[in-house]
Amino acid sequence: MRDLSRDVSFLSINTATLKTLTLRQAVETLSRHGIGAIAPWRDRLAECGVTEAARILTDRGMIVTGLCRGGMFTSGDASDDNRRAVDEAAAIGAQCLVLVVGGLAAGSRDIADARKLVRDGIAALLPHARAAGVKLAIEPLHPMYAADRACINTLAQANDLCDALGDGLGIAIDIYHTWWDPDLAAEIARAGKQTGRILAFHICDWLVPTRDLLLDRGMMGDGVIDIRRIRGWVEAAGYTGHCEVEIFSAENWWQRAPDEVMRICAERYRSCC
Amino acid sequence: MRDLSRDVSFLSINTATLKTLTLRQAVETLSRHGIGAIAPWRDRLAECGVTEAARILTDRGMIVTGLCRGGMFTSGDASDDNRRAVDEAAAIGAQCLVLVVGGLAAGSRDIADARKLVRDGIAALLPHARAAGVKLAIEPLHPMYAADRACINTLAQANDLCDALGDGLGIAIDIYHTWWDPDLAAEIARAGKQTGRILAFHICDWLVPTRDLLLDRGMMGDGVIDIRRIRGWVEAAGYTGHCEVEIFSAENWWQRAPDEVMRICAERYRSCC
C-alpha cells in the first residue's frame, strides 16, 4: 500500500469541492498547493469553452483524473449530449468520463426497467467512446439516489455491466456511495481481476449526522468511513491512480476560502487516507 | 396474490404513523376506521404501562403485528433492555419484536466489527426470546442509516443471519429501506424457503425529492416504489400477514388530523398496494 503521507502527488481535486471557482481559478489554487491533478465538471468547461479549458489544464500540466459527467440514460434521449461529453473528455485528456447513469424514467416506478435503459444506453455510447479513446467509468451512487440520480447502486451491479459490455468500460469507486456495502471488499477484488477496470477512486467522508441528502458530505477524517482500509482494498486490486476529493457541502466547505479548503484537503489526504 | 381492494382486513398501522396519539387514542382511531391491527413503539407502552397497554389492545381485539423495537446491539450493553423488550412483546401478544440492530459502535469506523456485534447480540438474545415465545424480526434499514441506526442494510445480510442463528429469528421487510436493492426479489424468494421467516411487511413510499433522511417518508402512492410488485414477491414467498403502514413525516402526515391520515391510509392501501 502506498505511503501518502509524504506529499500530494496522488491527490486530485474534483471541481465540485471548489464550487465557487472557475476552472482557471481552480487550477491556479491547486497549483499554489502543489496539487497536480483535477477532475472538472462540465459546467466549468462550458464557462470558458472546451478549447480554452484544455489550454488552461495543459499550461499547468494538470493531470485530469476524470470529467464529470455523462450518463442520465433514463431521461429521454441523452445520446447526443453524452457523445459531446465524450468529445470533451477527449479534448481535455481526461482519464475517464464519469457516468452518473440516471434514476427512474419520468413517471416510472420500474427500477428494473431503468437498469435496462442504462445498460442499453452505455452499450450505445461505447463505440463512440472507444473511437475517441475515452474510458467510460460507471459510478455506483448511494441507494438514497436510486430514484432520481442513479439506479446503479452497488459495485456488483457495475461489475456486472462491465462484464456484459466489454472493453472501454470501467468503474469509478466513490467511498461516500459505497462504504456501507457488505460486498465492497469482494467486489473491489472482483473489479481488480480485470486490468484497468478501476478507473477512479473518489474520497470524502460520511458525517454523523448527515443533514442533507445531497450537500452535506464531509472532509476526510470528519466522518465514519475507514478510508485507509478501503484504499488498501483498491490498491490491492491493482489501482495506482489518484485519490480524487469530491465534497458537496453547502453549509460548510463551500462557505470557506478555497485556499483553506485546499490546505485542509492536503493535510487530511496525508494523515487520514 | 391477495385482492386488497375490498376491505382493510390485512392493514396494520404502526404507531409512528400517528405520532401524536397515545396508545388508547391510536387504538380508538383505528377502530373507527375498521382497522384491526396495530404495531406500537415501546414509548407508547411506557406511557400507560405494559399491563394497561395489553388491556387496551385486547379490549379492542387488536392484532399486534409487531413491537418496535429491540436491537441497538452496537451501543454498549443493550442486553437488559432487549430482554425487557422481549417481555413486553410477549405481554401484548406481538407477532414479533422488530430489531433495529444499531450502527457503528461509538468512536468506531469498523462496520465489519459492528456487524459481528450485531450477530453476537442477536445470538445472546435468542434463548430468552425463544423461551418467551417471541419471534425476533431483523429489519434491514436503508444504507443511509448504516452509520447511526442499523448496519444490516440488505435482505441478503438478514437472510445470512437467520441461516446462521436458527429458530426464532426472522425478517421484517420494509419497502422504504429495501426497494432499491437489485437483489430484492431473489432475497425475498430465498427468505420464503424457510417457513415463517418473513415476519412483517412494512409499507410507505419513497418521495422524490426526499427532503430529510429520517422524517420525510411518503404515503403509499405518493412516491416511486412499485409496492404491488414487491407485495407480489412477498406473497409468492408465502407471506400471509398484514401490510403495516409506518410513515415518519414531520412536515406532512404528522401535521394532519389522525382521522384524515387513517382515511387516506385505508384508501391508498386498497388502491395502490
Per-residue pLDDT of A205-260, as tens digits, reads 999 999 999 999 999 999 999 999 999 999 999 999 999 999 999 999 999 999 99
- HSE of B27 in the Cβ direction (CA atoms, 13 Å)? 19
Look at phi and psi of residue B107 and say left if phi exceeds 0, alpha if psi is from -120 to 50, else beta: left
* Mean pLDDT computed over B236-246: 98
Burial B13-28 (b: 16+ CB within 10 A, else e): bbbbbbbebebbebbe
Phi-psi region of B221 (alpha: psi -120 to 50; beta: other; left: phi over 0): left
**Spatial contact of B152 and B112, defined as CB atoms under 8 Å apart:** no
The closest CB to that of B143, out of A180, A209, A225, belongs to A180
Mean pLDDT over all residues of chain B?
Answer: 98
Mean pLDDT of A101-118: 98
pLDDT exceeds cutoff 90 at B204 = yes
Q: Roughly how many angstroms between the first and final C-alpha of chain B, as a whole number?
A: 11
Question: Is residue B76's pLDDT more than 90?
Answer: no
Q: Assess contact for A179 and B111: CB atoms under 8 A.
A: yes
| Helix (H) or strand (E) segment spanning residue B14 | strand B11-14
- Long-range CB contacts (< 8 A, 24+ apart) of B146-149? B146/A179, B146/A180, B146/B103, B146/B104, B146/B111, B147/A180, B147/A206, B147/A208, B147/A210, B147/A223, B147/A224, B147/B103, B147/B104, B148/A208, B148/A209, B148/B103, B148/B104, B149/B100, B149/B102, B149/B103
Tell me: pLDDT of B108 over 90. yes
Hey, what's the cell of B98? Answer: 422488530
**Do B220 and B116 contact (CB within 8 A), yes or no?**
no
Q: Per the CB < 8 Å rule, is B181 touching A143?
A: yes
Give the model's confidence band at A77: pLDDT under 50 very low, under 70 low, under 90 confident, else very high.
confident
Residue A57 has pLDDT above 90, yes or no: yes
B224, B228, B273, best to mutate vs chain A, most A CBs in 10 Å: B224
pLDDT above 90 (res B46)? yes
Q: What is the band of B150 on the pLDDT scale with cuts at 50, 70, 90?
A: very high
Which three three-digit cell numbers place residue B195?
Answer: 417457513
Residues A80/A117, Cβ–Cβ less than 8 Å: no
Q: What is the pLDDT of residue B77?
A: 85
- Measured between beta carbons, which residues in chain A are less than 8 angstroms from residue B179? 111, 146
pLDDT the model gives residue B12: 98
If you ran DSSP here, which 8-state letter would residue B215 be given? S
pLDDT of residue A259: 98
Shortest distance, CA B52 to any CA of chain A (angstroms): 36
0.90 cut: is pTM over it? yes
Render the burial of A51-84: b for 16+ CB within 10 Å, e for the rest: eebbebbeeeebbbbbbbbbbbbbeeebeeebbe
**Cα gap B182→A151, rounded to integer Å:** 9
Using 50, 70 and 90 to split pLDDT, how confident is the model at A76? confident
Whether residues B153 and A180 touch (CB distance < 8 A) is answered with yes
Position A28 confidence tier, pLDDT thresholds 50, 70, 90:
very high
Average pLDDT over residues A121-128: 98
User: Would you say residue A51 has pLDDT above 90?
Assistant: yes
- Terminal CA-to-CA distance of chain A, rounded, Å? 11
3-class secondary structure per residue, B228-250: HHHHHHHHHCCCCCCEEECCCEC
Longest dimension (CA), chain A: 51
Q: Which residues of B touch A (CB under 8 A)?
A: 103-104, 108-111, 115, 142-144, 146-148, 151, 153-154, 156-157, 179-182, 206, 208-211, 213, 223-226
Tell me the chain A residues in contact with residue B208 when contact means C-beta distances shorter than 8 Å: 103-104, 147-148
Q: How many CB atoms lie within 10 A of CB A260?
A: 10
